[in-house]
């Protein structure tokens, strides 16, 4: 079974949904193919307070608004699917799903996003979901009145640490450097929260427990000293990995496995564009993903009509 569209968009995060809004509103038949839940990284964010024109909103609410808007313009969205084959060369590109369905289009926008980067230390796999989490929105309420660790020094780590103080009795931020990469506002908010303490120049080395996580081993990077801390949970915000593994054979990627594009979001293949957290870029925010998706959509529309 084959369905034909003008544009296929891979991924339904901020970039993919924005692209879908623009191409559909431009009267280009569009389908978004999404392997997970609609919303991408947005739905993992408790609060979005820096989206222009929106004072403050929940991440999942913003994602749902984008979804509804895209569909209102006629964009088709198919979620929880599995893509097994890409054919992106030539004028007609196609994507095949695990169930045999095939989608064909004149242009493709790749916006598969990314996933949390694990620490890859002993015990991490064992205690995922039993003390270790990568999502404050999803799991914060499981740690009501408990002591937890947040790993990371970027915006996500500090902002989610503040959010987690709504549940936890104490939050210790563990960061490998003596300074943070987060914006100053996020740093200030964390520092003035009485429930947050900081353990800098330190890294986790092991997760220890029985059925649930009980404690962690921590190394002081300056002295090499090892210590143990009793803890109820650990939230890891140590960056992300782009979801580009299926694209490695035909799309140009950077050393970090991010998609290389030009200023029009065009990849190395004519008619194939990319947007969002999967592309080479310095800043990753909802607003930058939306901008990428907008540019990719406008570029795709131009390529189809030229």
- Average the pLDDT over 279-295 and give the result: 93
Is the confidence at residue 12, as pLDDT, over 80? Answer: yes
Beta bridge partners of 226: 219
Residues belonging to the chain: 306
Kindly state the average pLDDT of the residues 176-198: 95
Residue 228 has pLDDT above 90, yes or no: yes
Q: Average the pLDDT over 76-85 and give the result.
A: 96
Tens of pLDDT, residue by residue over 293-305, are 999 999 999 999 9
Distance, in Å, from the CA atom of 158 to the CA atom of 191, rounded to the nearest integer, reads 9
pLDDT for the residue numbered 151? 97
DSSP state of 83: E
Q: Residue 198 pLDDT > 80, yes or no?
A: yes
* Per-residue confidence (pLDDT) for residue 135, from 0 to 100: 86
Residue 170: its pLDDT value, please?
Answer: 97
Beta strands (DSSP E) in the chain are 2-4, 7-10, 30-34, 76-79, 83-87, 93-97, 102-105, 107-110, 114-116, 132-133, 147-151, 170-174, 196-199, 202-209, 213-220, 226-230, 233-236, 240-242, 272-274
- Which pLDDT score is estimated for 132? 95
> Mean per-residue pLDDT for 200-222?
96
1 pLDDT higher than 80: no
Residue 47 pLDDT exceeds 80 = no
Q: What are the distances in angstroms from CA 168 to CA 103, 129, 228?
A: 47, 17, 20
Query: In the chain, pLDDT over 70 holds for what percent of residues?
Result: 100
- Are 165 and 193 spatial neighbours (Cβ–Cβ below 8 Å)? yes
pLDDT range class, residue 73, cuts 50, 70, 90? very high
**What confidence tens digit (pLDDT) does each residue in 185-195 have?**
999 999 999 99
Answer whether residue 267 shows pLDDT above 90.
yes
| 178 vs 284 pLDDT, higher one | 178
Query: How much is the average pLDDT of 55-64?
Result: 90
C-alpha dihedral (145, 149, 152, 156), degrees to nearest 10: -10
* Model confidence band, residue 41 (pLDDT cutoffs 50, 70, 90): confident
Stretch 3-16: mean pLDDT: 97
| Domains present along the chain, CATH in parentheses | 2-116+240-305 (3.50.50.60), 124-236 (3.50.50.60)
Determine the average pLDDT of the residues in 269-296.
Answer: 94
Q: Quick one: pLDDT at residue 239?
A: 86
Name the pLDDT band for 240 (thresholds 50, 70, 90): confident
Question: pLDDT tens, 82-139?
Answer: 999 999 999 999 999 999 999 999 999 999 999 889 999 999 999 998 999 998 877 8
Mean residue pLDDT of the chain comes to 94
Average pLDDT over residues 252-275: 97
């Amino acid at each position: 079974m084959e369905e034909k569209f003008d544009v296929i968009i891979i991924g339904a995060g901020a970039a993919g949904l924005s692209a879908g809004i623009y191409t559909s509103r431009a009267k280009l038949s569009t389908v978004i193919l999404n392997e997970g839940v609609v919303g991408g990284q947005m739905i993992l964010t408790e609060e979005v307070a820096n989206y222009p024109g929106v004072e403050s909103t929940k991440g999942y609410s913003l994602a749902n608004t984008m979804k509804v808007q895209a569909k209102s313009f006629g964009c088709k969205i198919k979620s929880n699917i599995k893509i097994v084959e890409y054919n992106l060369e030539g004028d007609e590109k196609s994507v095949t799903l695990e169930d045999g369905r095939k989608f064909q289009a004149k242009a493709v926008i790749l916006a598969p996003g990314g996933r949390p980067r694990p620490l890859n230390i002993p015990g991490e796999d064992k205690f995922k979901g039993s003390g270790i989490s990568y999502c404050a929105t999803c799991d914060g309420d499981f740690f009501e009145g408990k002591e937890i660790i947040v790993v990371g020094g970027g915006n996500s780590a500090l902002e989610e640490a503040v959010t987690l103080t709504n549940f936890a009795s104490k939050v210790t931020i563990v960061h490998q450097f003596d300074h943070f990469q987060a914006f100053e506002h996020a740093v200030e908010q964390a520092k003035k929260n009485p429930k947050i303490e900081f353990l800098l120049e330190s890294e986790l080395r092991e997760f220890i427990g029985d059925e649930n996580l009980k404690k962690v081993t921590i190394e002081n990077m300056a002295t090499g000293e090892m210590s143990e801390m009793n803890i109820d949970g650990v939230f890891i915000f140590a960056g992300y990995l782009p979801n580009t593994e299926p694209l490695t054979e035909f799309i140009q990627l950077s050393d970090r496995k991010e998609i290389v594009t030009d200023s029009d979001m065009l990849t190395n293949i004519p008619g194939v564009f990319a947007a969002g957290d999967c592309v080479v870029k310095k800043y990753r925010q909802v607003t930058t993903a939306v901008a990428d998706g907008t540019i990719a959509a406008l570029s795709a529309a131009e390529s189809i009509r030229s």
